[in-house]
């Protein structure tokens, strides 16, 4: 069995060499935030995010449900912040050419390989955000940051523009401890949210009501959106960064040099998207997070953004979308046409 202190040193060195800016260790034990998660699901705040409330929800109570031999959870954070344009309609985590799931998983695999080379064999399981883990809670327990009022993990020195990843290991490494909550009395994220999706949970805590979140609407929600939601979405096509952009802890957030995250399409031309074929959508977005919105979802969002733009030059593109085969795209395009014509 590897010496715990040495195993910890090897992990931190391997994580640093792999390119992770944050690293810490949490115990593989019942997650203290699980009752909060249960209440969130029970109150219906997951909305259409059914993958968080399905039969795997109970697995999030304890990492050992995923690896019975686990004794530690190695938590990491990978910076994705880049210097994109001030105006953008796609959330910055999706600006680049790479799928962060593949990138984080490959880097974690290199960490495991280095650790096994120095420490010998051990059981492990690599996890990204598709695994049923409460990864923000584990990252907080591992000292990577606190969970802010915007429900994002915030690091005092580096901000919140991070992808999280975990490795469950059968090694017992000395754990870290959670940092203090440093949101103080700040309400900037709460006040800036255009849909008031950050709702009080008592005791000064806030929860995300996914049913009101623009990211949910533009990424996860299928079919037509209610009219009020269309207006509140503004010109956002995929996701929403408002609650992170206004956070004071992100004012000096560093930038990543990783080529996979450099901005390729932070603000696509809406009229061009309207004429994008399904094959062109696949070629442009297949290996990026935007793929999750699906072809019809992106066209629906483009129609919404054109309707909220106030620019009648989009009418020809919208008339094309009004004849599209998908109900959500058609309905949003017709709504956008009426909106622009009424504003004339």
Tens of pLDDT, residue by residue, the chain (344 residues)? 679 999 999 999 999 999 999 999 999 999 999 999 999 999 999 999 999 989 899 999 999 999 999 999 999 999 999 998 888 999 999 999 889 999 999 999 999 999 999 999 999 999 999 999 999 999 999 999 999 999 999 999 999 999 999 999 999 999 999 999 999 999 999 999 999 999 999 888 999 999 999 999 999 999 999 998 999 999 999 999 999 999 999 999 999 999 999 999 899 999 999 999 999 999 999 999 999 999 999 999 999 999 999 999 999 999 999 999 999 999 999 999 999 999 86
322 found inside a domain: no
Residue 310 counted as domain residue: no
Handedness of CA 63, 293, 214, 54 (dihedral sign): negative
- Contact residues for 77 (Cβ-Cβ < 8 A; gap 6+): 20, 21, 22, 23, 139, 144, 145, 153, 155, 158, 162, 163, 164, 165
Residue with tokens 């290991």: 169
Say if 153 falls within a structural domain: yes
Q: Determine which one of 33, 62, 129, 267 is catalytic.
A: 129
∠ at Cα 71 (68, 73), nearest 5°? 100
Domain count along the chain? 1
Q: Which two tokens stand for residue 221?
A: 């929600």
pLDDT value of residue 1: 67
Active site residue 326: no
Q: Is 278 domain-assigned?
A: no
DSSP 8-class letter at 162: E
Residue 45 belongs to some domain of the structure: yes
Work out whether strand 146-147 and strand 124-127 pair parallel, antiparallel, or are unpaired: unpaired
Q: Check residue 84 and give its pLDDT.
A: 87
Domain assignment present for residue 198? The answer is yes
In a domain, 313, yes or no: no
Contacts of 72 (CB under 8 A, 6+ apart): 25, 26, 27, 28, 168, 169, 171, 172, 173, 175
* Cβ contact 23:76 at 8 Å: yes
Burial 123-162 (b: 16+ CB within 10 A, else e): ebbbbbeebbbbbbbbbbbbbbbbbbbbbbbbbeebbbbb
Q: Which domain holds residue 5?
A: 1-267
Classify residue 289: in a domain, yes or no: no
């Amino acid at each position: 069995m590897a010496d715990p202190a040495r195993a910890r040193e090897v992990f931190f060195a391997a994580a640093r060499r792999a390119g992770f800016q944050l690293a810490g260790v949490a115990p593989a034990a019942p997650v203290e935030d699980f009752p909060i998660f249960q209440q969130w699901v029970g109150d219906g705040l997951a909305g259409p995010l059914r993958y968080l409330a399905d039969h795997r929800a109970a697995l999030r109570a304890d990492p050992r449900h995923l690896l019975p031999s686990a004794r530690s959870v190695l938590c990491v954070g990978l910076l994705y912040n880049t210097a994109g344009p001030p105006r953008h309609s796609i959330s910055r985590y999706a600006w680049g050419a790479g799928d962060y799931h593949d990138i984080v998983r490959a880097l974690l695999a290199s960490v495991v390989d280095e650790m096994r080379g120095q420490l010998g064999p051990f059981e492990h399981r690599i996890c990204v955000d598709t695994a049923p883990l409460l990864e923000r809670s584990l990252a907080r327990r591992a000292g990577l940051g606190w969970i802010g009022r915007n429900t994002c993990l915030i690091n005092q020195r580096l901000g919140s523009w991070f992808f999280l990843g975990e490795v469950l290991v059968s090694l017992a490494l000395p754990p870290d401890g959670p940092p203090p909550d440093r949101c103080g009395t700040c309400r900037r994220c709460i006040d800036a949210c255009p849909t008031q999706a950050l709702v009080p949970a008592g005791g000064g805590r806030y929860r995300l009501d996914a049913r009101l979140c623009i990211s949910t609407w533009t990424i996860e929600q299928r079919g037509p959106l209610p009219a009020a939601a269309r207006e509140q979405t503004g010109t956002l096509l995929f996701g929403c960064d408002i609650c992170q952009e206004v956070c004071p802890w992100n004012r000096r957030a560093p930038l990543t040099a990783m080529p996979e995250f450099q901005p390729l399409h932070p603000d696509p031309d809406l009229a061009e998207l309207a004429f994008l074929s399904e094959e062109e959508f696949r070629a442009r977005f297949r290996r990026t997070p935007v793929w999750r919105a699906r072809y019809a979802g992106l066209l629906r969002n483009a129609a919404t953004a054109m309707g909220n733009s106030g620019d009648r030059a989009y009418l020809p593109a919208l008339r094309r979308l009004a004849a599209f085969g998908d109900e959500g795209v058609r309905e949003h395009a017709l709504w956008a046409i009426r909106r622009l014509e009424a504003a004339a």
